Amino acid sequence: MYSFAYHRPVSAAEAEALAAKAGEARFLAGGMTLLPAMKLRLAQPTDLIDLARLGDLRGIKVSGSEVRIGAMTLHAAVAASAEVKRAIPALAHCAGVIGDPQVRNRGTLGGSLANNDPAADYPAAVLGLNATVHTSRRTIPADSFFRGLFETALEPGELITAVSFPIPERAAYEKFRHPASRYAVVGVFVARTGGGVRVAVTGAGPCAFRATQLEQALAKNFSPDALKGIKISADGLNSDIHAAADYRAHLIGVMARRAVAAIA
Amino acid sequence: MTVQGIGAPVRRKEDRRYLTGRGTYTEDINRPGQLHAVILRSPHAHARILGIDTSAAARMPGVAAIFTGADMAKDNVGSIPCGWLIKNKDDTPMAEPPHPPLVPDRVRHVGDQVAVVIAETRNQARDAAEAIQVDYEVLPAAVDTAAAAKPGAPQVWEQAKNNVCFDWHLGDKAAVEAAFATAHHVTKIDLVNNRLIPNAMEPRAALGEYDRATGDYTLYTTSQNPHLIRLLMGAFVLHLPEHKLRVVAPDVGGGFGSKIYHYAEEAIVTWAAGKLGRPVKWVADRSESFISDAHGRDHVSHAELAMDQNGKFLALRVATIANVGAYLSTFSTCVPTYLYATLLAGVYATPAIYAEVKTVFTNTVPVDAYRGAGRPEATYLLERLVDKAAREMKIDRVELRRRNLIPRDAFPYQTPVALQYDSGDYQSTLEIALKNSDWAGFESRRAEAKKRGKLRGIGISTYIEACGIAPSAVVGSLGARAGLYESAAIRVHPTGSVSVMTGTHSHGQGHETTFAQIVADTLGMPIENVDIVHGDSSKIPFGMGTYGSRSLAVGGSAIVKALDKIVKKSKRIAAHLLEASEADIEFKDGTFSVAGTDRSVPFGQIALTAYVPHNYPITELEPGLEESAFYDPLNFTYPGGCHICEVEVDPETGVTEVVKFTAVDDVGRVINPMIVEGQVHGGLAQGIGQALYEICVYDKESGQILSGSYNDYTMPRAEHLPSFTVETHNTMCTHNPLGSKGVGEVGAIGSPPAVINAVIDALSPLGIEDIEMPATPQRAWRLIQTAGMARAAE
């Protein structure tokens, strides 16, 4: 690790002010990606702004129509929350299959979204549930938040404060777990609401995306059979030593069918 | 069996310190004035070093010194030696290129050692290492095992033409050819034994120290065999006399073979400590472990089995290409030869066998022994081949095995590939495993799984292995450059407690308990009164260390020999005290008594008498009670058994789940059944890991490692494993005093083919007959897809 200046602000405003002043600042949430990258000397921020004391950013609130989760809320807290399990069980499940117990007890919702790893689980839930990302400056709809590989709509120094998830009629998340890293080789989040059906895919592309082909089929007939025979194109999908693009394309179909089967 | 003696499932004495974080590992040791070393490693698989500029790095904060290969060459530092000379078919010696601790002019694998930076802190050393400018001329790399010896492949060493280290053979070629000529059927198979990265929990570390006042060097290192390191490094690399070099292997967090070898870093820190007059410590980070610990396996083989019309095996011929990587690691050459081809008879009475092994250099990390070392390669080949033969001959695979097993009454059994098995009962281990696994009831489980959409399969492997490599005279004649005996010294203290100095090394195996049980059993005392001392060359007699499941069979036997001497001398003292003839003295449960009388004296009093010899036969017997023994075995030991695996494959995703695993192993005399079971469990986890998860992947063009972290290298996890059904059915080793055979590696040897045979059985309804290790979801899915398309086309 290279040396860096360490800050521990107590408010989002102070955090933003510190970031504005610094040479190359990084916010530290759970640090599950940032700290290993720093240890490997792949990331070298001049200033590390630890968000641990921003108590306002932690917590879960369920109202009639939405679940609002603070950006600094741990995956383990979401996974264990009785309120989330009641309102959107698929969201609790999604948080519960992230990484391993150690990661779930350090990693945060905001950290995961801001990092936007192509194989992270939360982006599928955010996109699938049509959530709204609240930042220190504005609100960003899920559909315009994820821009590309590790790229989001966040501006420099902008801080995620919370995410509101509209409560769907039914939702399910099916994940094909990477046997080594525990990330999603492919994860598919399916949500059915009054407004229609959303299918979000993570792990397969540069960032989470909606499978409109599957959404259209399910809008007509919300059953696993509706997805049979739909061939997902491998174009633009990720390929690595564990899963080539065509295998990932195939897994999108399998995971989507299983998610639908769970809630149809 | 006493409560704590031989056969008792005593809890491990060492676990208290391991589990409470009180162990002392190499990294825990800090010496006054200690500096920290960071190795600058090659980012290229193959490149010429045109220049190294250390000037900017040398000026960085905290830097004490930077050394390169040129500096070591100036001090006449020698080459890291290979421990076993193999001869080619034409009796010429193998190609044996140099292996300098820091390379002077050319790097030959990603991770090769280019320079060492020594600084006040590790971070300073790392900063400075980044500031070293190396001018590389990148060369094409030879990476692929099968392609390395082909014409046109990039050459790793000038002295190894076509990258061949040696081209060796074993067996009677003419007899095999004759048998093939008359065979009813020949089954052929091509197999890859996947390359593995050992991944011991504790990364390697080394701390060198030099005392200017005495001229003594000390090396603390993560080693399975400190005396071997002292011998190799002292005599060959640094030219230090052994009485001036102490090597300590303290608590070591797992080895699996990877910590047998003498590594460059050990020589670098010891040499640098002498240059600088300050202790120098190096600790590998995990990324470094992936590219600097010796890897395992990496074979490409073709095998053919000739049978008569009844499926009787007539002859076997095998041609294997084994990858040794860029340099010859300590035991790299004996693994694919004398620990592999000699095992190709397996448990079968195949009358004629001929094996050819071509070993190739590549621009990859050196490959050496890894849990099982050669025997898993032989077992995998045989057991895949036998299953395939059964399919082709349309003979049930269990029946085919039964027809060819070496009969119970055939021992000692001379194989056609040099070894002579002393004991075994393969029929019984097979039958018990069939029963324990409910083999007969499998088809109903397959049908039930099918209802759930899963393809269920069952696989079997009947195996043998060879432990406690020996005897020294024989291995010496085959090219070994070391003896393979073991030592023990028993020191009885005046009040009767005992210290045992053993030449073996425990890095998780539980020797501190097992060996204490042997002493407790013989001398009739609680294990708490016995301390096992190991790992420090200044405390223990010269010993060969721990590998090849040898510690109990060889090291334990040395302890028994030394205990015999203790008991013999004690009897003489007892005879004196009891005023009886030595021949009338009996020893039982810690008490010496005169036969047929109530006169007796406890062991503790004998010990005290030996050290306070007021009433003592001083003219006939020396005082004191301390004995040592060196034990050189007459033969290998031959554990064996039967493993049966059941899997379920999800045909939609290709995911294989091991749902049931049954192991019945013959490990000879069991000292501690709990430890034996634990060793089998660990071995099975590693074997299942090789079969389903683990593989080291190199980019075939660039030689970059693509599985160089836990994000990509899949270690088996608890959730990947079922609850194992483990049992032993033991026949005694006939030539060592304990009757023990060894258990450290059986799990990793027997299991991979059982798993793969199960996967193939699961996929066989689709017409699939082969899958490579590891049988990853993507591999299985692709085969299923292809099979589906083939069916659709029919």
Kindly state whether residues B617 and B763 are assigned to the same domain: no
Coil, strand or helix at B395: coil
Distance from C-alpha of B255 to C-alpha of B771, rounded to nearest angstrom: 29
The Cα–Cα gap between B456 and B447 comes to 8
By Cβ distance, the residue of A180, A247, A254 closest to B778 is A247
Contact A181 B711 (CB under 8 A): yes
Q: Show the tokens assigned to B192.
A: 């890859």
CB contact B56 to A (< 8 Å) = no
CA distances (Å), A71 to each of A47, A48, A158, B140, B281, in order?
20, 17, 13, 49, 42
Check residue A1 and give its pLDDT. Answer: 85
Tell whether B489 is covered by a domain. Answer: yes
**Could you tell me if B581 lies within 8 Å of chain A, comparing CB atoms?**
no
Please write the tens of the pLDDT for every residue from B503-543. 999 999 999 999 999 999 999 999 999 999 999 999 999 99
* Interface contact B711, partner A, CB < 8 A: yes
Contact B693 A40 (CB under 8 A): no
CB-based burial, B91-125: b 16+ in 10 Å, e otherwise = eeebbbbebbbbbeebbbbbbbbbbbbbbbebbbb
Helix (H, G, I), strand (E, B) or coil at B194: strand
Residue B781 falls inside a structural domain: yes
A180 reaches B (C-beta below 8 A): yes
With cut-offs at 50, 70 and 90, classify the pLDDT of residue B421: very high
Number of neighbouring beta carbons within 10 Å of residue A241: 14
Please list, in sequence order, all residues whose beta carbon lies within 8 angstroms of the beta carbon of residue B506, skipping any fewer than 6 positions away: B14, B512, B532, B534, B535, B546, B551
> H or E segment at B56?
helix B55-58
Chain B within 8 Å of A1 (Cβ-Cβ)?
yes
Q: Is B25 on the interface with A (CB under 8 A)?
A: no
Domain end: B611, B631, B651, which one? B631
B287 touches chain A (CB under 8 A): yes
Sequence-ordered alpha helix ranges (H) in B325-441: 375-393, 397-404, 426-436
Which of A2, A40, A241 to substitute to test the interface with B, most B CBs within 10 Å?
A241
In a domain, B670, yes or no: yes
* B794 within some domain: yes
Task: Choose the final residue of a domain: B599, B631, B663.
Answer: B631
Which among B707, B714, B781 has CB closest to A179? B714
Domain membership flag for residue B270:
no
Residues B647 and B594 in one domain: no
- Sort strands A132-135 and A160-166 into parallel, antiparallel or unpaired: antiparallel
What is the tens place of the pLDDT at every residue in A54-90?
A: 999 999 999 989 999 999 999 999 999 999 999 999 9
Q: Using N-to-C axis directions, what is the helix angle for B746-763 and B375-393, rounded to 10°?
A: 30
B699 plus B570 within the same structural domain: no
Distance from CA of A97 to the nearest CA of B (A): 13
CA distances for B253 relative to B21, B25, B247, B259, B468, angstroms: 12, 8, 17, 10, 22
Question: Is A176 an interface residue toward B (CB < 8 Å)?
Answer: yes
Looking at the fold, whether B565 and B689 belong to one and the same domain comes out as no
* CA A138 centroid distance within chain: 19
Q: What is the mean pLDDT of chain B?
A: 97
How many residues would you count in chain B?
794
User: Which B positions 648-677 lie with beta carbon below 8 A of chain A?
Assistant: 652-653
Per the CB < 8 Å rule, is B712 touching A247? no
The confidence band for B2, taking pLDDT boundaries of 50, 70 and 90, is low
Q: Which residues of A touch B706 (CB under 8 A)?
A: 241
- Domain shared by B524 and B449, yes or no: no
Give residue B51's pLDDT: 97
**Radius of gyration over every alpha carbon of chain A, rounded to an integer in angstroms:** 18
Confidence of residue B76 (pLDDT cuts 50, 70, 90): very high
Q: Does A40 touch chain B (CB under 8 A)?
A: yes
Compare CB distances from B778 to A41, A243, A254 and report the shortest one's residue.
Answer: A243
In a domain, B602, yes or no: yes
Find residue B36's DSSP bridge partners.
B119, B281
My answer on whether B684 and B595 are in the same domain is no
User: Is the Cβ–Cβ distance between B549 and B680 less than 8 Å?
Assistant: no
Longest pairwise C-alpha distance within chain A: 57
Strand partners, B610: none
Sorted by sequence, the CB contacts under 8 Å of residue B79 that are 6+ apart come out as B98, B99, B100, B236, B237
**Structural contact between residues B757 and B461, judged by C-beta atoms closer than 8 angstroms:** yes
Average pLDDT taken over every residue of chain A: 96
> Which of B126, B653, B706 lies at the smallest CB-CB distance from A176?
B653
Spatial distance between the Cα atoms of B217 and B266, rounded to a whole number of angstroms: 12
SS3 B513: helix
Give Cα B45 distance to the centre of its chain: 27
Phi, psi of B135, rounded to the nearest 5 degrees = -95, 105
Contact across the interface for B776 and A180, Cβ inside 8 Å: no
Domain that holds residue B596: 485-631
Q: What is the pLDDT of residue B793?
A: 64
Indicate whether this model's pTM tops 0.90. Answer: yes
Residue to test with chain A: of B653, B702, B712, B784, most A Cβ within 10 A: B653
Please give the pLDDT value at position B1. 46
Mark whether B555 and B494 lie in a shared domain: yes
Do B642 and B737 lie in one domain? The reply is: yes
**A41 neighbourhood in chain B, CB within 8 Å:** 126, 130
Asked if B183 and B307 count as a contact pair (C-beta separation under 8 A), the reply is yes
Percentage above 90 pLDDT, chain B: 97
Could B653 and A181 be called an inter-chain contact, meaning their C-beta atoms sit closer than 8 Å? Answer: no
Size of interface A-B (CB pairs under 8 A): 41
Give the CATH number of the domain where residue B525 resides: 3.30.365.10
Q: What is the DSSP track for B708-736?
A: -STTTS----GGG---EEEEE-----SSS
Question: To probe the interface with B, which of A181, A252, A257, A258 has the most B CB atoms within 10 Å?
Answer: A181
ipTM of the complex: 0.95
Per residue in B613-624, pLDDT tens?
999 999 999 999
Q: Which of A254, A250, A181, A256 is nearest to A222 (CA)?
A: A256
Q: What are phi and psi of B377, to 5 degrees?
A: -65, -45
Using the CB atoms, write b or e for A97-127: b if 16+ within 10 Å. Answer: bbbeeebbebbbbbbbbbbbbbbbbbbbbbb
- If you measure CA to CA, which chain B residue comes closest to A245? B778
Whether B789 and chain A come into contact, CB under 8 Å, resolves to no
Contact A180 B287 (CB under 8 A): no
Task: Pick from B655, B695, B711 the residue to mutate for testing the A interface (most A CBs within 10 Å).
Answer: B711
Q: Residues B604, B713: one domain? A: no
Backbone angles phi, psi at B107, to 5 degrees: -100, 145
Residue B410: CB atoms within 10 A of its CB come to 12
Mean predicted confidence (pLDDT) in B417-427: 96
User: Quick check: B71 pLDDT over 50?
Assistant: yes
Confidence of residue B794 (pLDDT cuts 50, 70, 90): low
Q: Say if CB B226 and CB B254 are below 8 A apart.
A: no
**Whether the Cβ atoms of residue B416 and residue B345 lie closer than 8 Å to each other:** yes
CB contact under 8 A, A241 and B652: no
* pLDDT of B791: 73
| Portion 321-340 of B in contact with A at CB < 8 A | none
Query: Distance between CA A24 and CA A6 in Å, rounded?
Result: 12
Domain boundary among the residues B585, B603, B631 is at: B631
Are B681 and B607 members of one domain?
no
Residue with tokens 């501006």: A155
Residue A40 has pLDDT above 50, yes or no: yes
User: How do residues B554-582 score in pLDDT, each as one tens digit?
Assistant: 999 999 999 999 999 999 999 999 999 99
Torsion angle defined by CA atoms of residues B73, B77, B82 and B88, in that order, rounded to the nearest 10 degrees: 50
User: Has residue B790 got a pLDDT over 80?
Assistant: no
Neighboring chain A residues of B454 at a CB cutoff of 8 Å: none
Q: What mean pLDDT do residues B187-193 have?
A: 98
Residues from chain B that touch A1, judged by Cβ atoms under 8 A, are 123
Max Cα-Cα span within chain B: 96
Whether residue A52 is predicted with pLDDT greater than 60 in this model: the reply is yes
Name the 3-class secondary structure at B538: coil
Is A228 within 8 Å of chain B by CB?
Answer: no
Say if A243 is an interface residue toward chain B (CB within 8 Å). Answer: yes
Beta bridge partners of B467: B637
Share of chain B above pLDDT 70, in %: 99
- Cα B180 from Cα B317, distance rounded (Å): 9
* Contacts with B287 from chain A: Cβ below 8 Å: 40
Interchain proximity A244–B778, CB inside 8 Å: yes
Query: B778 CB near a chain A CB, below 8 Å?
Result: yes
Please indicate whether, in this complex, the C-beta atoms of B711 and A179 are within 8 angstroms of each other.
no
Tell me the chain A residues in contact with residue B653 when contact means C-beta distances shorter than 8 Å. 176, 251, 254
Instruction: Kindly report the nearest CA distance between residue B708 and chain A, in angstroms.
Output: 12
Question: If you measure CA to CA, which chain A residue comes closest to B776?
Answer: A242
* Closest by Cα among A24, A51, A15 to A158: A15
Task: Inspect the interface and report whether the beta carbons of B781 and A250 lie closer than 8 Å.
Answer: yes
Average the pLDDT over A220-226 and give the result: 96
DSSP H helices, B545-666, are 557-577, 603-611
The amino acid at B651: P
Calculate how close chain B gets to A247, using CA atoms only, in Å.
7
Contact between B212 and B274 (Cβ < 8 Å): no
Distance from CA of A1 to the nearest CA of B (A): 7
Q: Look at residue B351 and tell me whether its pLDDT is greater than 80.
A: yes
Count structural domains, chain B. 2
Instruction: Write out residues 122-161 of A within 8 Å (CB-CB) of B.
Output: none
State the DSSP code for B161: G
In this structure, the answer to whether residues B656 and B775 fall within a common structural domain is: yes
Burial class (CB in 10 A: 0-12, 13-18, 19+), B644: buried
Q: Phi first, then psi: give them for residue A225, nearest 5 degrees.
A: -60, -30
Contact B122, B185 (CB under 8 A): no
What is the number of other CB atoms lying within 10 angstroms of the CB of residue A221?
Answer: 11
pLDDT per residue over B35-53, tens digit each? 999 999 999 999 999 999 9
Residue A203 C-alpha, separation from nearest chain B C-alpha, in angstroms: 14
- pLDDT of residue B234 exceeding 90, the answer is yes
Per residue in A186-218, pLDDT (tens digit) is: 999 999 998 899 999 999 999 999 999 999 999
pLDDT at B510: 96
User: Quick one: tokens of B137?
Assistant: 């001329």
In what helix (H) or strand (E) does residue B448 lie, and over which residues does it extend?
Answer: helix B442-451
* Residue B209, domain member (yes or no): no
What tokens appear for B665 in the block?
A: 């192993």
3-class state of residue B201 by DSSP: coil
Predicted confidence at residue B3, as pLDDT, reads: 83
Name the closest residue on chain A to residue B712, using Cα atoms: A180
- Supply the pLDDT for residue B58: 98
Residue B159 lies in a domain: no
**pLDDT (mean) for B149-167:** 97
Q: Is B699 on the interface with A (CB under 8 A)?
A: no
**Ordered domains of chain A (ranges, CATH):** 1-53 (3.30.43.10), 170-263 (3.30.390.50)
Residue of B nearest to A248 (CA): B778
Question: B313-325 and B352-361: which strand pairing?
Answer: parallel
What average pLDDT does range B1-30 have in this prediction? 93
Each residue of B676-702: pLDDT tens digit?
999 999 999 999 999 999 999 999 999
What is the residue-wise DSSP string for chain A? ----EEE--SSHHHHHHHHHHSSSEEEESS-TTHHHHHHTTS---SEEEE-TT-GGG--EEE-SSEEEEETT-BHHHHHH-HHHHHH-HHHHHHHHTSS-HHHHTT-BHHHHHHHT-TT-SHHHHHHHTT-EEEESS-EEEGGGTEEETTEESPPTT--EEEEEEEPPSEEEEEEEE-TTT-SEEEEEEEEEETTEEEEEEESSSSS-EE-HHHHHHHHH--SGGGGTTPPPP-TT----SS--HHHHHHHHHHHHHHHHHHH-
Asked whether residue B683 falls in the same domain as residue B700, the answer is yes
